[in-house]
Amino acid sequence: MKHITFQLNGSARSVWVGPNETLLDVLRGKLGIKTPKEGCGRGDCGACTVLLDGKAVRSCLILAVEVEGQSVTTLEGVGQKGPTALQKAFIENNVFQCGFCAPGVILAASALLAENPKPSEAEVREALAGNLCRCTGYEPIVKTVLAVAKKTARQSTSRRVRS
């Protein structure tokens, strides 16, 4: 067993982990974080996506010992101050049907928009390619991410003009 310390959703956390425990196992089993889900256990489906130092990663593929000193953000941490513009848009557009993929998709899209605020459709599709959704056919997801990017770009442009 090894004792690790890391940031989880903005708060310092310490936990004892085994050498083979995944980040997903620790988040769900030891820390009570339920939005990353185990879908495949092989990194194929994206249901376990979290942000590791701002980058979207599959928590089922990351050993818990690897996050020592790093920052992990789950869906619980993204909306701490209320739903983000992206979360609101997904809700308003009724994008998800069953919702199983929603946390992973939201985190992957959030990471994309943080890195690239004006992505092309191809860039959105590429960023979300590792997140499987059996319900939507992806079109409403992609359209919503693009709409949020466009709206955010307009808002930041109008703020600069007023300043």
pLDDT tens, per residue, the chain with 163 residues: 999 999 999 999 999 999 999 999 999 999 999 999 999 999 999 999 999 999 999 999 999 999 999 999 999 999 888 999 999 999 999 999 999 999 999 999 999 999 999 999 999 999 999 999 988 889 999 999 999 999 988 876 655 555 5
Give the span between the Cα atoms of 21 and 93, in whole angstroms. Answer: 37
> Domain tally for the chain?
2
Which of 42, 77, 112 is the last residue in one of the domains?
A: 77
**Which residues span the domain enclosing 33?**
2-77
C-alpha distances (whole Å) from 105 to each of 37, 127, 129, 158 are: 12, 9, 10, 29
Q: To which residue do tokens 């928009």 refer?
A: 113
Question: Are 57 and 119 members of one domain?
Answer: no
Which of 77, 99, 126 delimits the end of a domain? 77
Q: What is the pLDDT of residues 46-74, one digit of tens each?
A: 999 999 999 999 999 999 999 999 999 99
The verdict on 91 and 40 lying in the same domain is: no
Q: How far apart are CA 90 and CA 93, in angstroms?
A: 5
The radius of gyration of the chain's CA atoms, rounded to the nearest angstrom, is 16
CATH number of the domain where residue 35 is located? 3.10.20.30
Give pTM, 2 decimals: 0.92
